[in-house]
């Protein structure tokens, strides 16, 4: 996992994720010693609009983490410049 990756965490990653969540990874925390196959990560929990709603430190099983490709956001339509209005 690298900074900026978006991952899906389900019960495959840890039993604490009965409701799956999406997380944008900030970094792994290698200074925290864990059990074999487990890792601490720091990241932002995302809502349905892909906005960060909470900063979290999570203890997860690496094999249960699913890397996600986010759908491309539609481009915003460009606004046409408005002509100045003359006031008489």
Domain borders along the chain are 6-68
E-only strand ranges, the chain: 6-9, 21-28, 38-46, 52-61, 66-68
CA angle 54, 11, 32 (to 5 degrees): 60
pTM of the model: 0.72
Question: What's the pLDDT band for 69 if we cut at 50, 70, 90?
Answer: confident
What value does the mean pLDDT take over residues 60-86? 75
**Distance between CA atoms of 53 and 15, rounded to whole angstroms?**
21
pLDDT greater at residue 35 or residue 77:
35
Neighbours of 22 (CB within 10 A): 18
Question: Residue 46: is its pLDDT beyond 90?
Answer: yes
């Amino acid at each position: 996992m690298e900074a900026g990756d978006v991952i899906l965490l389900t019960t495959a990653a840890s039993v604490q994720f009965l409701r799956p969540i999406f997380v944008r990874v900030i970094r792994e925390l290698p200074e925290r010693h864990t059990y074999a196959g487990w890792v601490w990560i720091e990241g932002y929990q995302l809502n349905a609009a892909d906005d960060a709603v909470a900063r979290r430190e999570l203890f997860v099983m690496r094999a249960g983490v699913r890397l996600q490709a986010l759908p491309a956001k539609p481009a915003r339509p460009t606004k046409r410049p408005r002509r100045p209005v003359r006031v008489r």
